[in-house]
Amino acid sequence: MDESCTVYQAADFIGRRWTALILLELYKGESMTRRYSELKKRIPGITPKMLSMRLRELEREGLVKKTVDASEFPVKSSYSLTKSGKDFIKIIKVLKNWALTWKLDNKLCKNAECGKCPADNL
Amino acid sequence: MDESCTVYQAADFIGRRWTALILLELYKGESMTRRYSELKKRIPGITPKMLSMRLRELEREGLVKKTVDASEFPVKSSYSLTKSGKDFIKIIKVLKNWALTWKLDNKLCKNAECGKCPADNL
DNA sequence: TACACTGTACAGCTTTCATCCATGGTATCT
DNA sequence: AGATACCATGGATGAAAGCTGTACAGTGTA
């Protein structure tokens, strides 16, 4: 599992700050799509720069598709999950499941929506 | 998903260098147990310091149990997967599965053991 | 004395992330 | 009319975290 290994890359990927968060936000959007500014609003604390960077990475890796609507006046960008991106969500599900099973201090998530967590409805 | 979130922590965790590797090595060991020196031998490139650090982390997180055999001559330490650690392997499986499905340049892993990869037999 | 096993200590590099700032046309408030 | 704020980016800088490399220490057997 050196750096050329896709499994390693995927693991590295999911561990980066904001990545999972962005994917989950897209997942929750209508037809799994969100605009840049929507994402910014819904992910508190992320800097615009980070958001662009992560989106570019996700696009490069094929998890996210970007669409630019240039017909309108301030040009608007939309990002949506590809099939591969949608499938990636299930990794997060398994992760959450593991956490719920073994991290007992995490009961909150099981019984109620903790409200802060974008993985609530997984 | 701030830093207090277990899902986030688990994601962060799996993305760290060597962590998955160590877990897989333990998984492949007899009764999912390996000695410190065995791990060092089987994970090329890892420094002793990193190995200790990761093992301590894994122990703290409850994925790994350490046993010291002090009856013998040079004291021997064994590390084994706990139930929680064993269960964590399935996250790696899902990860691998995703990679095999979507990262087409990764066909090698599907058709044969790449030999270098400790996730071969998952 | 030499070796086997399980580590620790120090010094430096690399990567990651945040913070601040600039863009430039549009739209809304005063 | 003038000021201010939105939209989606991208550069420069620097701090902090992560990781590497190498050396070496403790503790007991032969």
pLDDT at A114: 61
pLDDT tens per residue across span A63-88: 999 999 887 778 899 999 999 999 99
CB atoms under 10 Å from CB of B121, counted, come to 9
pLDDT at B72: 80
CA distance A42 to A44: 6
pLDDT tens per residue across span A23-79: 999 999 999 999 999 999 999 999 999 999 999 999 999 999 999 988 777 889 999
Q: Is the CB of A15 under 7 A from strand D?
A: no
Q: Do A87 and B99 touch (CB under 8 A)?
A: no
The answer to whether B24 and B92 are in contact (CB under 8 A) is yes
Q: Do A98 and B88 touch (CB under 8 A)?
A: yes
Contact residues, chain A to chain B, C-beta under 8 Å: 1-2, 5-16, 20-21, 24, 62, 84, 87-88, 90-92, 94-96, 98-103, 105-106, 109, 116-119
Nearest to A17 by CA among B22, B92, B60, B5: B5
CB atoms under 10 Å from CB of A67, counted, come to 11
pLDDT at A23: 97
What single DSSP character describes residue B106?
A: G
Task: Assess whether pLDDT exceeds 70 at residue A113.
Answer: no
pLDDT at B89: 97
In which band, very low, low, confident or very high, does the pLDDT at B73 lie, cut at 50, 70 and 90?
A: confident
Amino acid at A2: D
Mean pLDDT of A10-29: 95
Q: Which structural domains are found in chain A, ordered by start?
A: 6-87 (1.10.10.10)
CA distance A114 to B71: 49
- Report for A17-26, A112-121, B95-104: range of highest mean pLDDT: A17-26
Structure-token match 């561990």, residue found: A15
CB atoms under 10 Å from CB of A86, counted, come to 15
In terms of pLDDT, which residue wins out, A14 or A118?
Answer: A14
The encoded tokens of residue A71 equal 């017909």
pLDDT at B33: 97
Strand, coil or helix: B9 = helix
Upper half-sphere CA count for residue B94 (Cβ side, 13 Å) = 19
In which band, very low, low, confident or very high, does the pLDDT at A112 lie, cut at 50, 70 and 90?
A: low
In terms of pLDDT, which residue wins out, A1 or A28?
Answer: A28
Q: Is the CB of B14 under 7 A from strand D?
A: no
In which band, very low, low, confident or very high, does the pLDDT at B15 lie, cut at 50, 70 and 90?
A: very high
In terms of pLDDT, which residue wins out, A83 or B110?
Answer: A83
In terms of pLDDT, which residue wins out, B111 or B27?
Answer: B27
